[in-house]
Chain A
């Protein structure tokens, strides 16, 4: 049996009454089960319209939308919505209900008994790491970030297989947004919900989504690919301009250090001679030398201190201030490398020294 996509848009068109222009034009797109897809584009590209057609808050003018193979028009909208998590930018928590009651809304609508609802609410407090003290508070007591998290918890409450998120982290400041995105990734790793995420922030799309759908005005799908593929091969001028000038840097943010080959760098064994050290410095064209043996990095010395020294072991070693762990992104690495005196950073996996990352290596990744 072929895999049925979790969500399928087939030749969907939407023209709002009283409008001559289409909001969505002949759009076909499939979202696989467990996948996170970001819909992104300028305002008026129909991304929110598209999202709301999945849970029938908006009906298409033409075409078909299927959820796990079933035409959404064949299901009762109320039943359909209870089976799909829905998160919006302004959150829309019920101000007259406590945080716990808000989270329990859908289970309650589904007729779960109280004990089951409260047990589930507890689980969700745990999952999204909300302070249990907030249970009986009202939404007006919460900070913006807490509200967004409660909104996500509420959408997850009945454990729906599909989540629709309309700019879920749009209303909070950048620091909180980063934290929420990080948490989204962690939760997503555990739950693997099929998620459609509307955003206007390309960095958010790149960070969170497995595939990104870039939409143009009138709901025209310009490109639908994994973030790396989009950054590497933008389909056309529109996509390229949408990605911005720092497309190369964005790509670096997706690449872990472990994806590039590290160099041994200007390093010699501690037992090497002064001459060997000078030779190595010359070969690399640097004025410093690192001392390393196997996966242990001892430190480095400036070239001028070699003058008059009898052997390397007698020199006072400096510690590498610029070091990285192998799971950091190349963008993080670039930041460290360009601000370091040595123009290279030592990369570690735990305590193990793996090698050096130079600005040159990173630069190659921007170009290709």
Chain B
């Protein structure tokens, strides 16, 4: 089974189909986690911005979530939700919250006072101000947060193999168990590659969405 070289290219070519399937699974697990995380973070950020006093407790709770080791979190969640996609996503989503909320809130707080004064002086309602001024101007910070959240989540998704989910973790775990370096390496490299691709895609999206910030460098 173990080839002469370090990498068994024969195995790699035999399993291209599996790799594609694992890539789709990995991307879907990440996509669900980051989108749910973003929706939840936007809601929590709106609460934090509307009622400033809630911001500290919100960062406190999400901060604690962020520090729990993923392995431990899965262990706590499995007895309640079983070896399910839900368990995996609850854990993955909770890891995105701190980064996203912090970036959204600091992005909106970072909108210059003169811009706010001018926009309310021109007769924008609070809602128009949020949607037409604050959110667009916070976009660089928000996209930066999404990039970190996505890259972190892609790494974390590999761990979800322990609770029966797919993705590149399957290769890594099986490779380690069978002491088959090629498979473990393929899983690792694919995970890194996905992270790089997603990060670059988000940079591209950011450029398109923010032509005005192009020269500032995102």
User: What residues make up the interface of A, taking CB atoms closer than 8 Å to B?
Assistant: 55, 57, 77-83, 86, 88, 90-97, 105-106, 109, 138, 140, 151, 154-155, 164
A106-B123 contact, Cβ under 8 Å, with A95-B212, A138-B212, A140-B215:
yes
CB neighbours (8 Å) of A55 from chain B are 121
Q: A93 vs B132: C-alpha distance in the bound complex, in angstroms?
A: 13
CB neighbours (8 Å) of A88 from chain B are 114, 117-118, 121
Given A88-B117, A94-B119, 17 more contacts at CB 8 Å?
Answer: A57-B120, A81-B120, A81-B123, A88-B114, A88-B121, A90-B112, A90-B114, A91-B118, A94-B115, A97-B212, A105-B122, A106-B122, A109-B124, A138-B212, A140-B215, A155-B122, A164-B121
CB neighbours (8 Å) of B133 from chain A are 94
B114 touches A86 (CB 8 A): no
CB neighbours (8 Å) of A57 from chain B are 117, 120-121
A109 touches B120 (CB 8 A): no
B118 touches A93 (CB 8 A): yes
B121 touches A86 (CB 8 A): yes
Partner pick for B122 among A91, A96, A97, A109, CB 8 A cutoff: A109
B114 touches A82 (CB 8 A): no
CB neighbours (8 Å) of B117 from chain A are 57, 88, 92
Q: A164 vs B118: C-alpha distance in the bound complex, in angstroms?
A: 12
CB neighbours (8 Å) of B112 from chain A are 90, 92
Partner pick for B115 among A77, A83, A92, CB 8 A cutoff: A92
CB neighbours (8 Å) of B115 from chain A are 92-95
A92 touches B118 (CB 8 A): yes
Cβ of B137 within 8 Å of any chain A Cβ, yes or no, is yes
CB neighbours (8 Å) of A77 from chain B are 123
A-B contact count (CB 8 A): 71
User: What residues make up the interface of B, taking CB atoms closer than 8 Å to A?
Assistant: 112, 114-125, 128, 132-133, 136-137, 139, 210-213, 215-216
Partner pick for B212 among A82, A91, A96, CB 8 A cutoff: A96
A140 touches B122 (CB 8 A): no
Q: A91 vs B115: C-alpha distance in the bound complex, in angstroms?
A: 8
A78 touches B119 (CB 8 A): no
8 contacts between A and B (CB under 8 A): A57-B120, A77-B123, A81-B122, A92-B114, A95-B115, A96-B139, A140-B212, A140-B215
Chain B residues touching A, majority SS: helix
Nearest 7 CB-CB pairs, A to B? Answer: A92-B118, A82-B123, A90-B114, A81-B123, A86-B121, A92-B114, A138-B212
Which residue of chain A has the shortest Cβ distance to B124 in the bound complex? Answer: A109
A109 touches B121 (CB 8 A): no
B118 touches A78 (CB 8 A): no
Partner pick for A78 among B114, B125, B136, CB 8 A cutoff: B125
A161 to chain B, nearest CB (A): 15
Q: A164 vs B123: C-alpha distance in the bound complex, in angstroms?
A: 13
CB neighbours (8 Å) of A151 from chain B are 118
CB neighbours (8 Å) of B132 from chain A are 94
A95-B121 contact, Cβ under 8 Å, with A90-B114, A140-B212:
no
CB neighbours (8 Å) of A81 from chain B are 120-123
CB neighbours (8 Å) of B128 from chain A are 109
A95-B122 contact, Cβ under 8 Å, with A57-B117, A90-B114, A140-B215:
no
A92 touches B119 (CB 8 A): yes
A95 touches B123 (CB 8 A): no
B115 to chain A, nearest CB (A): 5
CB neighbours (8 Å) of B124 from chain A are 78, 109
CB neighbours (8 Å) of A94 from chain B are 115, 118-119, 132-133, 137
Q: A82 vs B125: C-alpha distance in the bound complex, in angstroms?
A: 11
CB neighbours (8 Å) of B213 from chain A are 96
Which residue of chain B has the shortest Cβ distance to A105 in the bound complex? Answer: B122
CB neighbours (8 Å) of B125 from chain A are 78
A185 to chain B, nearest CB (A): 24
A95 touches B137 (CB 8 A): yes
A48 to chain B, nearest CB (A): 11
B122 touches A86 (CB 8 A): yes
Which residue of chain A has the shortest Cβ distance to B216 in the bound complex? Answer: A140
CB neighbours (8 Å) of A90 from chain B are 112, 114
B137 touches A96 (CB 8 A): yes
Q: A99 vs B210: C-alpha distance in the bound complex, in angstroms?
A: 15
Partner pick for A109 among B123, B136, B137, B216, CB 8 A cutoff: B123
CB neighbours (8 Å) of A83 from chain B are 123
Q: A91 vs B122: C-alpha distance in the bound complex, in angstroms?
A: 12
CB neighbours (8 Å) of A138 from chain B are 211-212
B114 to chain A, nearest CB (A): 4
Partner pick for A91 among B114, B139, B211, CB 8 A cutoff: B114
